[in-house]
Copies of this chain bind each other. A is one copy, B any other.
């Protein structure tokens, strides 16, 4: 691999001049610029970006930490981010945290030690304190889907209370009065918020939230399956089920079929996230849109703006959910009565 030194020799100029034409940041005469680019072409020269990073203390790469590389949720987010950076000549280093504190920390440290200029973090397991301490460090970062008041200007969030409210309101408006709920893990803020919005809507309809109709899941499909099974076995009747995300909703749909329930006639089911496969399930799932791709792009814009001082559209940190009505909520449902 040719180095800058060989290029400079071939072009008959100094290292510095070659560097200047690469970064075209200083005055270089047309004649020498031509000589240099010719030499580069001849040698097939490619700058070694590791060396560039070390020397300039700027790697032109930003780190992205997500929980998982797979799954319907992270794909669109990564894609939105990658796109934005590609257009700006920045590069993406991706690590997965697997919702595990140790691995999340490892991932963050790797990205920092890799001289990332900025970080986009979607972390769940790491503590607020850790992040606050991290914010004092040299690598700026933005948080997706996590709120820490001390870091509020770098938290990109969905209004989950509103989302929970929207979902419940829609179901209530269809005439349902007994509504079961499968939540996410309630130590997570988003799970809590969605449930809070749910309760607000209930209150607005003068209905009380029935704790017996709450099942705490973990945002995974299996817990949706288990959740509906468990709810079906207890004695309080319900005609609709709201799940705190689409994966659990899909699990619940499978469960409903195994229980012999006709959807949506005997049981209405509502999801959350508007993950792409919700259009493909049967019946098509009504849900709440989580504009995760947009939020990813916004996170990328944040980095562009705050780290690279680029012009960007105005930064926005709070995003609004939207109701997506499809065919999984029936207008009037027969009550499922208890098993006992």
Contacts and interface: CB of A to CB of B under 8 A. Distances in A.
Given A46-B112, A48-B113, A113-B46, A70 B79 contact: yes
A260 interface: no
Contact of A138 (B1, B79, B112): B1
A49 B93 CA distance: 14
A12 interface: no
Interface in A66-104: 68-72, 74-76, 78-79, 82, 86, 91-96, 103
Contacts of A75: 68-71, 74-75
A330 interface: no
Contact of A82 (B46, B96, B138, B282): B96
A49 B59 CA distance: 12
A68 B79 contact: yes
A96 B69 contact: no
A136 interface: no
In the complex, which of the residues A46, A50, A91, A282 has the most CB atoms of chain B within 10 Å of its own CB atom?
Answer: A50
A5 interface: no
A183 interface: no
Nearest to A47: B113
Contacts of A110: 49, 91
Contact of A79 (B61, B86, B96): B96
Contacts of A68: 75, 79
A54 interface: yes
A49 to B, nearest CB: 5
Contact of A281 (B74, B91, B280): B280
Given A71-B75, A92-B93, 16 more contacts: A1-B138, A48-B115, A49-B110, A50-B114, A51-B54, A61-B114, A69-B75, A69-B79, A70-B76, A75-B75, A91-B95, A93-B93, A94-B94, A277-B280, A280-B280, A282-B282
Nearest 8 CB-CB pairs, A to B?
A282-B282, A70-B75, A277-B277, A69-B78, A70-B79, A69-B79, A50-B115, A94-B94
15 contacts: A46-B109, A46-B113, A48-B54, A50-B115, A54-B54, A61-B114, A69-B82, A72-B72, A82-B95, A86-B96, A91-B93, A91-B110, A92-B93, A93-B94, A282-B282
